[in-house]
Amino acid sequence: MPTSDRVPANYQTVRLAKGRHSSPQGGVCVMELVSMLAGEPFTDRPTTACPVIASFMRGYNDRVDDQRRQDLRRCAADLVGSYAGHDVMRARHERLIEWGSERLAGRRFAALRGWLGRTPKLDSMRGRDAAGVFAARTIGRVTDDVHDEVLRLVDELVAMGRPSPGVSRARPDERSRVPVG
């Protein structure tokens, strides 16, 4: 089997790619790497990760150039276990809306501003994705400064949910999740 068709033995050397993939052999985005690091089935929606941050990371992964995308490997490790419950998701959701709105201030993005006014409630899956999608769409050309700002934002979002020692970061099962709708 050619080297490019094998799953990398070292997750630090995996090459992150744009888009969603059916298997690691076809490529790996940052959120798919999170699922691999967490030992979950291969997906871009790992249950261990906060869905609000994950939506932003999926959008940014696809927006950033290939070289800068590789910096997201360190974010993947931080996102394992970042699910921290509804209150933290709400705070992260609000921070992403705030961050995206700040990026739009003084710029001509009427369509995004209108979309922001129709952002679905956090209690729906679409709502959990909305803030991250919005924030990622406010990113224009990715420069080194913008990239550094995004990495700091991800660090800030993850830190919002850091539990006290001894508190589980495991995501509840389907029966105990926040109701949709």
**Both structure tokens of 31:** 């959120």
Phi, then psi, of 41 in degrees rounded to 5: -60, 150
Q: Taking 90 as the threshold, does the pLDDT of residue 17 lie above it?
A: no
- Cα torsion 78, 44, 28, 115 to 10°: value is -90
- How far apart CA 130 and CA 115 sit, in angstroms, is 9
Q: Could you tell me if 29 and 69 are in contact, meaning their C-beta atoms sit under 8 angstroms apart?
A: no
56, 131 Cβ separation under 8 angstroms: yes
Reported as a pLDDT band with limits 50, 70 and 90, residue 114 is: low
Domain ranges of the chain: 14-160
Predicted pLDDT at 170: 46
Q: Rounded to two decimals, what is the model's pTM?
A: 0.76
Average pLDDT, the chain: 78
